[in-house]
Amino acid sequence: MKTLAIAATFAVASLLAMPAADARTKLTGEQQLSKMLEGREAGKPVSCIPTSMTQNSTVIDKTAIVYKVGSTLYVNRPINADRLDDDDLMVTRLYSSQLCRLDTVQLHDRYGSYMWNGFVGLRDFVPYKKVKTVASAN
């Protein structure tokens, strides 16, 4: 019994001492965006998207902002994209019922002080829709 307890203690200690085997390396912004857009096809860029139909937005660090409208993902690669951080809050002042190119998005620290961290200027929105798969007839 004593041997079993020593073996169990050794096993636990060795597990704690080794680095996590399944620890994943952090994906780059381009890799994250590519993964998000898998199975989708780019459409013709548009200047504006309706804010009333926008379900959510996702910030891809130093790369893009992705807006979901229905089943379509609109990717915006703004000016100053290197300022984008998914830990920041985005504050957008709207002048119409649409979010358009040339609108600016202020970035604020999410934790504590909510200090201003800069801004990004929106460009055209590229729609990505799911690719329709054709079932093969056997």
Q: What would the pLDDT profile of 87-121 be if each residue is shown by its tens digit? A: 899 999 888 999 999 999 999 988 877 788 899 99
Question: With bands split at pLDDT 50, 70 and 90, how would you rate the model's confidence at 28?
Answer: very high
Q: What would the pLDDT profile of 73-87 be if each residue is shown by its tens digit? A: 999 999 999 999 998
For 2-29, b/e burial (b = at least 16 CB within 10 A) is eeeeeeeeeeeeeeeeeeeeeeeeeeeb
30 within 8 A of 77, measured Cβ to Cβ: no
